[in-house]
Amino acid sequence: MFVAFAYPPNELGYCGPPDPALLLRHDGSDRVTRARAFDGAWPYLVELAAAAGGAEPLRSDVVQAYWLGGELQSGVDGARLAQRLRCALQGQPTGLLDAVPDDRLLAHHSFQVFVVYPWVPILARRPAGAGPALKILQQCRIRWGVVDAVGDEHAVLTSQPLGFEAGQLLLGAPTPETVRWRGVDGTALAPRPAPGDMVAAHWDWICGSLGPEQHRALVQTTTSTLDLVNGLLRAGPRSPAALS
């Protein structure tokens, strides 16, 4: 599961080890080393694992909690996660992180995308030129959608695109989008989807099907993160470093 969701940005060269083919090798010999190379994801996995009673960071429920959400979120020590993120990302922009109280941190990929990455502050400063930043946020978040049609390499989903209106992030009306489920070399991150399936997508790949509980967790956690970010945007300069 970690590979399925981590591969799309790694293929594009945005994070993780330099050779994305390494990530697809399932020999298990150095899987922790490969996962550690994702410095945006690893701190969350470590703290979710601690919340799971000292579990292995790549255990399935820990990985699922990071990418999709779930009950482990409530057990994460926010202050410790904040410190771990600052250490891991030292010297890099950390977006809105310093404006978030420790008890509002979420150990979820949506938090990394909307709070820690610098794109939301850029969006807030330059709403007239929102296109590039908004596109990155849309593609980088884990989104859900229903499969409408499936071809040899691509599938058409109906999903809710991210929008930015009146200084707030929102999810728009369901809209068709085309994503890959298999590469030209035969690479697939999940089994071939079928029309009617609810799936998760990251960048332009389908990463897997979502059961009802997984779908609910992803929607709830994404919504919570958007609510948090929109609150910071409304607060504006009164929120320490929120728009710096």
What's the Cα-to-Cα distance from 88 to each of 74, 105, 136, 139, rounded to whole Å? 22, 16, 22, 23
Q: Which residues contact 31 (CB under 8 A, 6 or more apart)?
A: 58
pLDDT, residue 244, reads 40
Domain map of the chain by residue range?
A: 2-238
Kindly give, in sequence order, each residue whose CB lies less than 8 Å from that of residue 151, ignoring residues fewer than 6 positions away.
none
Residue pLDDT tens, the chain, 244 long: 999 999 999 999 998 888 888 888 766 668 888 889 998 999 999 999 999 999 899 999 999 999 999 999 999 999 999 999 999 999 888 999 999 999 999 999 999 999 999 999 999 988 776 789 999 999 999 999 999 999 999 999 999 999 999 999 999 999 999 999 999 899 999 999 999 999 999 999 999 999 999 999 999 999 999 999 999 999 975 444 444 4
180, 206 in Cβ contact below 8 A?
A: yes
Residue 33 has a pLDDT of 86
- Bridge partner residues of 162 (DSSP): 171
Q: Nearest-CA neighbor of 210 among 166, 157, 171, 170?
A: 157
Block residue for tokens 């400063």 = 125
Would you say the pTM of this structure is higher than 0.75? Answer: yes
Task: Please give the pLDDT value at position 126.
Answer: 81
- Tally the residues of the chain: 244
DSSP 8-state secondary structure symbol assigned to residue 114 = I
CB 124 within 8 A of CB 166: no
CA dist 9 and 151 (Å) reads 23
